[in-house]
Amino acid sequence: MASPRENKILIIIPAHNEEAFIGRCLESFAAQTRTPDELRVVSDHCTDNTSGIVRGYQEQYPWIRLLERKSSPAHQPGPKVVETFRAGLEMGWDGFDFIGKFDADILLPARYLEQILQAFREDPDLGMCSGELYIEHQGKWTYEPIANPGHVRGPVKLYSRKCFEAIGGLRPYIGWDTADTLLARYHGFSTGTLPDLQVKHLRPTGSGYSRKNAALQGRALYNLRYGWALSLVASFKMGWKRRAPALPFLAMAGYLKAWLTGQDRMLNKAEGAYARHWRWQQVRGRLVQGFRNGQAGSPAGERRAQ
């Protein structure tokens, strides 16, 4: 078996005012049985003590680096995160075999990176892999049901270099963290999660839900070239998962606005055709499995890696 250090890992964490979480997050990286070769925290327009906390860890661990960036103070959940990530990538990534985009509000189990690397070694077609996110509810940690099991979530993405290069890196649009999984499949890679790796998500996705964020979800569906019918199905699914009855209508209003104004798309026509075909396959697969088992299972192609 290859020596662990033959597979060099670069982790980039975009951070905006994360003083409540960043210390615990970095502690979980420092406690790894296989630490990253380099971890870059990109402090983006922070007005709290995020940078100061990271400096303390940087002094203690030579593989942690801080980059401070001044961008617009406007909140842009898709493009701004990707642009901040790219700022970290611009420091150079030659020689790294795996590229990770992680959030500042997660806690990793101790063997996280060790076991993810093992999954990549065992499956040469695996392009993207992660654990699964859990949130605290009434004193217990439970699976965060924003996405189906098997889907590699935005806060914990680790890519093989080959996959990352094939998909052209991350695209600065709302919906980037769905586009990358579709593009990985488009280019012949598999994606999957390790269910035994339970990552604690300290700030649940959707905790900042608003009418504006719902409209942005609709724009993401437009960016992904899902089309009207598939976008409607996806909007109602999101509304059901987040217990937000108004979300489908607000999302479709966002889709309509993007369509009327002719906004740029994230995927080209060929990629969009693949995305629609893939998602309709998932819808049909869940319906069939739902009839068989009384509930839907993991979508085909987004698998829990063994």
- Residue among 196, 180, 191 at smallest CA distance from 108: 196
Q: Which CATH superfamily is domain 7-201 in?
A: Spore Coat Polysaccharide Biosynthesis Protein SpsA; Chain A (3.90.550.10)
pLDDT tens digits for 269-286? Answer: 999 999 999 889 888 887
**pLDDT at 245 (0 to 100):** 86
Which SS3 state, helix, strand or coil, does residue 141 take? strand
Contact 41, 67 (CB under 8 A): yes
- Residue among 137, 123, 113, 10 at smallest CA distance from 63: 10
Quickly state the pLDDT bin for 297 (edges 50, 70, 90).
Answer: very low
Please state, in angstroms and rounded to a whole number, the distance separating the CA atoms of residues 109 and 234: 32
Which SS3 state, helix, strand or coil, does residue 201 take? strand
Mean pLDDT in the chain?
89
**pLDDT at 55 (0 to 100):** 97
**pTM for the whole structure:** 0.87
* Domain ranges for the chain: 7-201, 211-295
**pLDDT at 47 (0 to 100):** 93
Contact 168, 99 (CB under 8 A): no
Q: From residue 186, how far is each of 24, 150, 261, 273, 277 by CA, in Å? A: 36, 17, 28, 10, 11
Please state, in angstroms and rounded to a whole number, the distance separating the CA atoms of residues 92 and 294: 49
Q: Which long-range contacts (CB under 8 A, 24 or more apart) does 107-110 make?
A: 107/24, 107/25, 107/28, 107/199, 107/200, 107/202, 108/28, 108/29, 108/32, 108/197, 108/199, 109/197, 109/198, 109/199, 110/31, 110/32, 110/33
**pLDDT at 2 (0 to 100):** 44
pLDDT tens digits for 135-152? Answer: 998 899 999 988 888 999
pLDDT of 188 higher than 70: yes
What tokens were used for 268? 């080209």
What tokens were used for 53? 């906390």
Q: From residue 68, how far is each of 55, 105, 155, 156, 162 by CA, in Å? A: 11, 18, 20, 22, 28
pLDDT tens digits for 15-74? Answer: 999 999 999 999 999 999 999 999 999 999 999 999 999 999 999 999 999 999 988 766
Ranking 32-36, 96-100, 216-220, 290-294 by mean pLDDT, the lowest is 290-294
Contact 117, 29 (CB under 8 A): no
Phi–psi pair at 207, nearest 5 degrees: -65, -20
